[in-house]
Amino acid sequence: MELQVVFLVLLVSVASISALKAGECEVCIKTLDKFAATLESSEKTDPKKIETAFKEFCKKVKDKENRFCYYLGGLETSATGILGEMSKPLSWSMPSDKICEKLKKKDAQICDLRYDVQIDLKTVDLKKLKVRDLKRIINDWGEDCTGCIEKSEFISRIEELKVVHSEL
């Protein structure tokens, strides 16, 4: 009886170690959910069709999702490929978080991807942001700040563009 209890405790502790924590693998989970929603019912059960559809899906994504595709092998420029580790469980209707758990065991950097924190321009004090964040705001708007060197110049440019982009 004691041996069974020890075994059960050991089994539960091993399972909790491999389980994802809240907020972990957010890019992986959201990208897989978004991708799975694009699949037609005829594709959902065939791993090869899933892989082909994933490569097409990856051609349209940007930023963190693009990096996720690169890690899985969904891009032509990918150095390695572990698409089978994603497509087979997806064809079995395994939930995205469980697939990401398996992918994390193969390549830990998949779960290191995080979305950038969105900056609320209505409440943030621009003077307290780093220049990197100020540049990101301008880039996200598709604008540029030609000749900007000082932090104050980036802030001025954001204030100038805020009127145009805050209504979007």
* pLDDT at residue number 80: 83
58 vs 66: CA distance, rounded Å: 6
The 10s digit of each residue's pLDDT in 90-105 is 999 999 999 999 999 9
CA-closest candidate to residue 28, choices 106, 101, 136: 101
The 10s digit of each residue's pLDDT in 137-155 is 998 888 999 999 999 999 9
* pLDDT at residue number 100: 96
* pLDDT at residue number 5: 47
Give me the residues of the chain with pLDDT under 70, please. 1-22, 167-168
Alpha helices of 2-150 — where are they, by DSSP H?
2-18, 26-38, 47-58, 63-72, 83-91, 96-106, 131-140
* pLDDT at residue number 101: 95
- Hey, how many other C-beta atoms are within 10 angstroms of the C-beta on 150? 9
* pLDDT at residue number 14: 42
* pLDDT at residue number 141: 87
* pLDDT at residue number 165: 82
Torsion angle, CA of 102/103/107/113, rounded to 10 degrees? -120
* pLDDT at residue number 15: 42
Amino acid found at 63: D
- Tell me the angle at which helices 47-58 and 63-72 cross, rounded to the nearest 10 degrees: 140
